[in-house]
Amino acid sequence: MKTKKINKVLIANRGEIALRIIRACKELSIKSVVVFSEVDINGVWVRKADECYPILGDPIAAYLDFDRIISLAKKADCDAIHPGYGFLSESAEFAQACEDNGIIFIGPKPEHIALFGDKMASKVAMRAVGVPMLPGTDEPIDNIDDAEQIACDIGFPIIIKAAFGGGGRGMRIVQNAEEFKEMYESATNESIRFFGRGEVFIEKYLKNPRHIEIQIIADKYGNVLHLGDRDCSIQRRHQKVIEIAPSPLLNAAVRRELYRVSTKAMFKLGYESVGTIEYLVDQDDNFYFIEMNTRVQVEHPVTEVISGIDLIQRMIAIAEGDQLKFLQEEIHLKGYAIEFRINAENPKLGFAPSPGLITNYLAPGGPGVRLDSMAYTNYQIPANYDSMIGKLIVSALTWEDAVRKATRALDEFLIEGVPTNIPLHRQIVRDQDFIDGKLDTGYLDTKLQHFNLDAIHNMEDEETKMQQITGIINAIKANKLNVRH
């Protein structure tokens, strides 16, 4: 049963996620349209789309100007808009504007985007449907004296979080009462700078928990399923670096309860489309709700690999009004998948973004290796956006084999011209705690003290090999080396 067939989709995004959506559309015989900023004119996704339209002016504002985007969608006769992740993907106002203009928004209903975009309201709603919560505030706080009293009542350590933000911005851990005021001011100032509002909420802080998320998929008819879990514990400054599906060491009973609680909550709230419920799991296997992401996640490929389900295509089908074509017991999760976020960043400068020209690009391949990337040789990485240029995903039937495959694939991966975090990933997969699956949110902070950041930054091995190859070629050309044909 379908309400409307989608024939043409405008992709209101850029980079690897835009390319990912284009590929999903092509397999469904759906035409794809992209908008692009001036600095993205050479983006591979611009070349791959069926149609493309520039939005001139500020490179970031180009992807946020939803009046212009909707106008272009109508001009191009698009049935629907897919927002990808970031930018307008969690804008209830944008989703509503699409509906008001007769365009299908490929994602959740505007009211659910609004609900889960409000961290206070989402906590109240999720608690009401039986989802466990950390001790903390249910309403935004904008008074430092009230905030300090609440923190003392909860008991230190606590964490301050921006009430209307995300991505680790406006977040501070406070170990004791003496440092509270300084941390509160720092958190609120950052929140105002990035989100335009300074309200925060306060929660009990769990030291080095695991960060576990559950992938949900739901149609318009009350069918709600899960597609397993992901471990996103390897983070730096609250930003995910590596994601794993499923979590290597999650207790089986806890896993089943996470699935039950998550699907029940989404059924009761009438959620539809894909979504991700994120939790913290403490050392005693208690789990607590953090937030709900009402969009496709950066890490969605690891779930696709172990489930065999194309999440982008399912989003489109649900938006068309299609019912889910499978039952929970028909979903068979198979093996392990690991995703490595490949960022153009400089470890010697505190992992600062390092845009520039990619002078050489050699991608890994082989069985069990997937690469979602917009990078190529002579691609100019713009300075205007996030530093992520791609995602390397590996998979195998066992955790041990997945780690071995990751080691091999990372060793094959070569990007020159800009520093990247590939060598950091190479050290992580060789670390014994990672090999043993002993992961928590403090993992990378601890390991960075022992990893050699100078070694992370250089590409000496690759350069040596290239020099050897060049020497051989020059010797052949000079007839100084006999080569048997």
Q: What is the DSSP string of 176-205?
A: SGGGHHHHHHHHHHHHHHHHS---EEEEEP
- Structural element, H or E, at residue 8: strand 8-11
Say if residue 315 is exposed, middle or buried (CB neighbours under 10 Å; 0-12, 13-18, 19+). buried
pLDDT at 458: 46
* DSSP string covering 425-479: HHHHHTSHHHHTT---TTHHHHHTTTS-HHHHH--HHHHHHHHHHHHHHHHHHTT
- Distance CA(95)–CA(97), nearest Å, equals 5
Reading the block at residue 130, the tokens are 């039986």
* Cβ–Cβ under 8 Å, residues 421 and 347: yes
Q: Report pLDDT for 457.
A: 46
For residues 39 and 15, give the distance between their C-alpha atoms in angstroms, rounded to a whole number: 12
SS3 421: coil
Helix 180-195 vs helix 144-154: angle between axes, to the nearest 10 degrees? 120
| pLDDT on residue 406 | 98
Do residues 303 and 228 touch, judged by C-beta distance below 8 A? yes
Q: What is the mean pLDDT of each run of 10 residues along the chain (485 residues)?
A: 84 98 98 97 97 96 96 98 96 98 98 93 94 90 94 94 81 94 94 90 92 98 98 93 97 97 98 98 94 97 98 98 96 98 91 96 98 97 96 98 98 97 96 97 92 59 66 73 55
pLDDT for position 164: 83
Catalytic residue among 236, 295, 341, 370: 295
Neighbours of 3 (CB within 10 A): 10
> What values do phi and psi take at 240, rounded to 5?
-65, 140
Say whether pTM exceeds 0.75. yes
Q: Which region holds residue 457: left if phi is over 0, alpha if psi is between -120 and 50, else beta?
A: alpha
Cα–Cα dist 180/311, whole Å: 42
Residue 179 C-alpha from the chain's centroid: 32
Can you list the alpha helix ranges (DSSP code H) found in 28-65? 44-48
Q: Is 295 a catalytic residue?
A: yes
What pLDDT sits at residue 350?
86
